[in-house]
């Protein structure tokens, strides 16, 4: 029975990720999530309390997955940016979730995994700066912001720019991200 509960919870999270990626937090509908997961709304409220709790669980899942699959290496922030680029380019649902979180997330409770992960990354960069491994031209917060946002460069362009960049191969776009972060790090 525990396996069934775990499978139901997983289906709800997967369906919610797709729904939130498509419609954002405000536009997502619990009834569509339940139907896509072949479950019911009562299960959503049982596992997650409400839609906001479900969104928090989806974002926690995404953050844990990203921390595991693309860990920060403060001594090689350029390649870290490349790994972040890979994560979001290879899975458009993850990229869209991250965009919606940036757009609408300020009105919701902070996702603890994201808060802790950000704090740990800033501390790792500060330590690398103290050890002379990373430029001190930027504060750790500034440097992390630059790395994260440069990694999302190609997914954050206007439709007009995306049209112009459509012919740029994926590996070249990745290399531009890595090279841009390396340039930021150069003293």
pLDDT tens per residue, range 9-67: 999 999 999 999 999 989 999 999 999 999 999 999 999 999 989 998 998 898 888 88
pLDDT tens, residue by residue, 76-134: 999 999 999 999 899 889 889 888 888 887 766 567 888 889 999 999 999 999 999 99
pLDDT in tens, 122-160: 999 999 999 999 999 999 999 999 999 999 999 888 999
Tell me the two tokens of residue 147: 């790395």
For residue 41, give its domain range.
2-185
Q: Quick one: angle between helices 2-27 and 51-69, nearest 10?
A: 100
Q: How far apart are CA 153 and CA 135, in angstroms?
A: 22
Q: Which of 30, 6, 10 lies closest to 20 in space, CA to CA?
A: 30
What is the value of pTM for the model shown?
Answer: 0.85
In the block, tokens 């841009």 appear at 180
Cα–Cα dist 175/18, whole Å: 29
CA distance 87 to 93: 10
Give 155's DSSP letter.
G
Looking at residue 120, which CATH number applies to its domain? 1.10.357.10
CB under 8 A, 24+ apart: contacts of 182-186:
182/78, 184/135, 184/138, 184/143, 184/146, 184/147, 184/150, 185/77, 185/78, 185/134, 185/135, 186/135
Q: Are 60 and 113 in contact (CB under 8 A)?
A: yes
How many domains does the chain divide into? 1
């Amino acid at each position: 029975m525990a396996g069934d509960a775990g499978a139901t919870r997983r289906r709800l999270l997967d369906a919610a990720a797709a729904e939130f990626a498509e419609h954002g937090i405000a536009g997502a509908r619990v009834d569509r999530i339940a139907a896509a997961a072949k479950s019911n709304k009562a299960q959503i409220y049982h596992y997650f309390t409400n839609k906001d709790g479900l969104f928090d669980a989806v974002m926690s899942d995404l953050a844990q997955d990203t921390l595991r699959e693309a860990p920060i290496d403060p001594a090689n922030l350029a390649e870290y940016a490349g790994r972040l680029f890979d994560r979001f380019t290879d899975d458009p649902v993850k990229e869209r979730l991250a965009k919606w979180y940036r757009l609408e997330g300020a009105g919701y409770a902070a996702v603890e995994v994201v808060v802790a992960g950000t704090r740990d990354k800033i501390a790792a960069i500060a330590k690398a700066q103290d050890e002379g491994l990373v430029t001190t031209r930027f504060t750790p917060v500034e440097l992390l912001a630059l790395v994260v946002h440069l990694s999302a460069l190609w997914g954050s362009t206007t439709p007009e720019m995306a049209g112009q960049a459509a012919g740029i191969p994926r590996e070249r776009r990745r290399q531009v991200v890595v090279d841009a972060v390396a340039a930021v790090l150069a003293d």
